[in-house]
Amino acid sequence: MEEGKFDHLPYDGRPLPIEDETFAGEWASAFRMLRNAGAAPPWIEADKQVRELLEARDRVLRRAEAGPLSTFTRQRDRGELERVVVGHNAAVARLNAEAPTDRQHRRPLSLPEELARLDALHRR
């Protein structure tokens, strides 16, 4: 160590990745094959989509909060937010149906509440 031979090793200062899949039980080999193929179980893919749609919603809300908008822009934001919320709720339904336990479940968004939030930002 004094000679510096352990400096600049991979994962320096970070935890080593754990490839132990004992938590997966009888699914361990299936998860390993999916990971090696660069794929994930359908419920994990659905959760990724849910997170992406939440980010899209937040982008629309930030844009509305940024400043005064034309009527056209407000209508565009409203339509985009509706599409995002509907897509999000579909992804949440898929995730909740496929997730192995309810710990992975997500709550759907309320379209009227999200639109009211957008309208309040537009009025500022």
H-assigned helices in 15-110: 28-36, 42-66, 71-98
- Give me the pLDDT at residue 95, please: 95
| Domain span at 54 | 41-123
- Give me the pLDDT at residue 98, please: 92
Please report, to the nearest 10 degrees, the dihedral formed by the alpha carbons of residues 55, 56, 60, 62 taken in order. 20
Residue at 14 is within a domain: no
**Domain tally, the chain:** 1
- Give me the pLDDT at residue 48, please: 94
- Give, as one character, the DSSP assignment of residue 110: P
Residues 6+ apart with CB under 8 A from 84: 53, 56, 57, 60
**Distance between CA 61 and CA 57 in Å, rounded?**
6
pLDDT bin (cut points 50, 70, 90) of residue 123 is confident
- 3-state secondary structure labels for all residues of 55-79: HHHHHHHHHHHHCCCCHHHHHHHHH
Residue at 47 is within a domain: yes
Q: What is the pLDDT of residues 50-106, one digit of tens each?
A: 999 999 999 999 999 887 778 888 899 999 999 999 999 999 999 999 998 899 999
Residue at 73 is within a domain: yes
pLDDT at 12 over 90: no
pTM above 0.75, yes or no: no
Residue at 107 is within a domain: yes
Residue at 115 is within a domain: yes
Residues 6+ apart with CB under 8 A from 60: 77, 80, 81, 84, 118
pLDDT bin (cut points 50, 70, 90) of residue 8 is confident
Residue at 54 is within a domain: yes
Q: What is the pLDDT of residues 15-44, one digit of tens each?
A: 877 777 666 678 788 878 888 888 888 888
Residue at 93 is within a domain: yes
Residue at 35 is within a domain: no
